[in-house]
Amino acid sequence: MTQLKGLDISNNEIREMPRNIGELRGLVSLNAYNNQIRYLPPSFLSLNALQQLNLSGNNLTALPSGIYKLFSLKEINFDDNPLLRPPVEICKEKQLCSIACYLQRADERDEKILAKIFKIVANNITETNFQFLCQKLNLAITETDKSTMSTVSLSERVHRTLDKWKTENNNLSVTTAALRDQLTRALTMIGAYEIMDKITALKLFTCAVKF
């Protein structure tokens, strides 16, 4: 249905959009209000012809950072969603430019916070906990990696491993905020409480800084 111009799937209690919705290349109008949609799949950003979008009355908490790529989008409605990123007050303006600017700043902020968390972990984790952390994050360290890292410090090994983990997940369109949450959950699971105390202090500080 690549030639489809308009699609209305409103009032159907739909929980998620199809992962391949981006294949509707000719879609100009999409109405999906009053459903239970929680997130937008990565392929959604391929709807380059989209001009009108109504996703009001759903369960969206965050919009994809790449929404600015939908440069043809003129009419948007995200009312009545529990949005946190961007916050409701920004989305109420119904201006793509305002939403895109907020998300860009939020991405930059998240990148800086994650980099600081990586540094905290690298400088404070023990060898044993590092091995446990790799298991929780499903990080496979190859023999080549072991050979390459055998001559560097634990701190440097941790940093390189986390950077590699971040790159691999970014290629899968995992957000920086999601990576941060995944890492902090893993640290809690392995009992790295001193590190978590430092990360919690960092979060409290960043929350106090006006954004």
Global confidence as pTM: 0.73
pLDDT tens digits along 96-136: 999 999 999 988 998 999 999 999 999 999 999 999 999 99
Res 143 pLDDT > 70: no
Let me know how many helices (H) and strands (E) the chain has, helices first: 7, 4
Report residue 32: phi and psi, to 5°.
Answer: -140, 40
Least confident interval from 26-35, 94-103, 136-145, 161-170: 136-145
**Tell me, what's the pLDDT at 211?**
47
Q: Which residues pair with 87 in a beta bridge?
A: 84
Res 142 pLDDT > 70: no
**Tell me, what's the pLDDT at 169?**
86
pLDDT tens digits along 59-89: 999 999 889 889 999 999 999 999 999 999 9
**Tell me, what's the pLDDT at 145?**
60
**Tell me, what's the pLDDT at 12?**
97
- Scan for tokens 């995200």, then name that residue: 78
